[in-house]
Amino acid sequence: METESRQPSLNLCGAVACLFMVTPLIAQTPPADKPLMAEDFFKNVQVLKGIPVNQFMDTMGFFAASLGLNCTGCHVAESLQDWGKFGDDVPRKRIARQMVTMVNANFGGARRVTCYTCHRGGQEPEVIPSLAEQYSVPPEDANKIEIVPDAPTGPTADQILDKYIQALGGAQKLTGLTSYIAKGTIEGFDTYHEKVPLDIYAAAPGKLTMISHTQNGDTTTVFDGRQGWMAAANKPVPLLPMLPGAELDGGKFDAELDFPANIKNSLTQWKTGFPVTTIDDRDVNIVQGIGEGKSRFKLFFDAKTGLLTRQVHYEDTLVGTVPIQLDYSDYREVAGVKTPFHVVITWTDGQSIMQLHDVQANAAIDPAIFAKPAPAKVISAPKRQ
């Protein structure tokens, strides 16, 4: 979870963010047929029982996004140097558990109210109306645009996707690209905001491996066409599988997007009907699709060029839905196919910036590169400043 330089205040309303991050019991990986549950890996889990570790971590991000806090907003400062300190129980944790229990009891688990409903990115819920908000035009968040019955008539999903295929180079060029090996850099919280080497291996249909060589060891993400895994040295669990549903949907779509000639079959239930909106002052056409695991994707295409500008993918947690956003730019031709060399990945507990500098088209790739990775070597403590 991203740890920022600001110093959050320690009021009780700040207790919700990051409060359930607790001590790992042992460094283990789950059996192939059973996901590792939060309470089996972490100590002192009282409210968030019965959810996989993957979703537990996403829930931490939801709390952080809802209150605009980082880990030390709810955990002791020493937790950044010692995983064990995340398990220290403090009054703010007890308050937060009460709040989650209250919401569940009053709304029966329905997502009518979440932490974000009241906090809206602040540590304390607002109780006095803001006249500035009432009488000014707030900036539009393109991600919040949804389908409406009276939206202006625009191009159909087929037309938008066909234009995208043509913009990339055309169907014939796309089918001629069957693999690539890319080298570049990635920077973000896991790399201490420094650029580190990045290797990407992709093969049609739908296989993708990314290896970032961080200061604490390699982080390897693999999707082999059916299953996916992440092995990371600076995470509490050294190897986690992508779980059925939103995680596998995301891994599958990202891998297939590298060879988008068949994009129309990558998702189902394509829909349009979104109001006109912009990203970076450029009009975009929005298309919505559904993955095999029933998770939702929104794709934003530049209305003029037809190129994909943004992808937003939604994942559910026990306390609310979190978005994962990928922004694409710096398109360059690789074997006649336009490829984004700059990708920004943003989610509730971090942001990573990828910049490619060399892409070899139709390169020979050892199939073993798409095999399940070995567990990463676990570091003894997170070394955050």
Question: What is the per-residue pLDDT across 221-246, written as a single tens digit (0 to 9) for each?
Answer: 999 999 999 998 777 788 989 989 99
Give the lowest-confidence range in 41-50, 300-309, 325-334.
41-50
- Cβ neighbors of 369 (< 8 A, separation 6 or more) are 201, 209
Tell me the pLDDT band of 16, cut-offs 50, 70 and 90.
very low
Domain segments of the chain as ranges: 12-131, 142-370
Beta strand 196-203 pairing with 207-214:
antiparallel
Q: How far is 74 from 94, CA to CA, in rounded Å?
A: 11
Q: How far is 44 from 380, CA to CA, in rounded Å?
A: 20
Omega of the bond leading into 205 within 30 degrees of 0 (cis): yes
Average pLDDT over residues 307-312: 98
Going by C-alpha positions, the residue among 97, 373, 95, 24 that lies closest to residue 223 is: 373
Helix, strand or coil for residue 190? Answer: helix
* pLDDT tens-digit readout, 324-345: 999 999 999 999 999 999 999 9
Note whether 231 and 223 are within 8 A (CB).
Answer: no
Instruction: Look at residue 83 in the predicted model and tell me its pLDDT.
Output: 64
Q: Which residue has the tokens 């979440």?
A: 114
Note whether 319 and 114 are within 8 A (CB).
Answer: yes
Helix, strand or coil for residue 282? Answer: strand
Instruction: Look at residue 7 in the predicted model and tell me its pLDDT.
Output: 32
pTM value? 0.81
Q: What's the fold here for domain 142-370?
A: outer membrane lipoprotein receptor (LolB), chain A (2.50.20)
Note whether 349 and 2 are within 8 A (CB).
Answer: yes
Q: Which of 3-17, 43-57, 341-355 has the highest mean pLDDT?
A: 341-355
Check residues 222 and 34 and name the one with the higher pLDDT. 222
